[in-house]
Amino acid sequence: MLLTIDIGNSHTVIGIFNRHTIHHHWRIQTNRQHTADEIAVITHSLFALAKFAADSLHGVILASVVPHLNGAWLAFARTLTTNPILVDHQTATGLPILLDNPAEVGADRIVNAAAGHHLYQQALIIVDFGTAITFDCVSARGEYLGGAIAPGMGIAIDALGSKTAKLPRVDINIPPPQAIGTSTVTAIQSGILYGYGGLVEGLIKRLKTAMLTEQGTPKVIATGGMAVLIAPYAPSLEAIEPNLTLEGLRLIHERCHG
């Protein structure tokens, strides 16, 4: 059994694989103050609820965009296995990183690119809807080309609620009946959902144009907590892979350990 951990700015996603199959996965809030002991309490509680025995683990692999938490999570991981892997730009992913400074790229973006190329074996644009929305371009040869980063929908909603005097926080899980909002709530829902749909469509169009000369038409796939929510407003998204990052971690662990 393999434990995969994706530490994001807002949420941490944990998955357990038996060979190629994910058997359990959980999504918890990321807390920058957590110690290794607190992480252990939470994680072992999840294991107990799933009736999973931690001593059946043979490996742990992590991706993190929260450097402050790396030490605590690695300390916890070492209580489960002797050689946990923390993915970075130097990890053997098989994916050349064609950036000016490869050390800048987030581990989650590297992992997503590795998983996407393995699954589709063609040029890709991978859109990850998290705290930030990342657009990652992968060549047909499996090279990480770079991409774009935009503020996520959660950030926009929080900013509207905290930086304005009269605008309320709204639930964007409820779609607006039309683009023209007839109340403050539906106007905000329209602005977020149709607005971010337009942002996604516009960036995909530009990224596709930039990739066409050498790569052919790239396939566009999506992942992340809000991918399903925004998909109806962004028709360029061709497929949703909810466990893409965890699958990428599994693949990288397999590559590193043969």
CATH 3.30.420.40 positions along the chain are: 2-86, 102-247
pLDDT tens-digit profile of 120-174? 999 999 999 999 999 999 999 999 999 999 999 989 988 888 888 888 888 888 8
User: What share of the chain has pLDDT > 70, as a percent?
Assistant: 98
- In this prediction, residue 215 has a pLDDT band, given cuts at 50, 70 and 90, of low
In this predicted structure, what is the pLDDT of residue 97?
96
Instruction: Write out the two tokens for 120.
Output: 């589709």
In this predicted structure, what is the pLDDT of residue 258?
62
- 47 has pLDDT over 90: yes
- 221 has pLDDT over 80: yes
108 is catalytic: yes
CA–CA gap between residue 183 and residue 3 (Å, rounded): 46
Give the helix ranges, DSSP H, for 121-183.
Answer: 153-163
CA–CA gap between residue 6 and residue 59 (Å, rounded): 15
Pick the catalytic residue from 6, 108, 128, 136: 108
DSSP readout, 165-176? SSPPP--TTS--
Please determine, looking at this structure, whether the domain spanning 2-86 carries the CATH number 3.30.420.40. yes
In this predicted structure, what is the pLDDT of residue 166?
82
| CATH fourth-level superfamily of 102-247 | ATPase, nucleotide binding domain (3.30.420.40)
What pTM, to 2 d.p., does this model score?
Answer: 0.92
Task: Report whether 176 contacts 189 (CB < 8 A).
Answer: yes
- 213 has pLDDT over 90: no
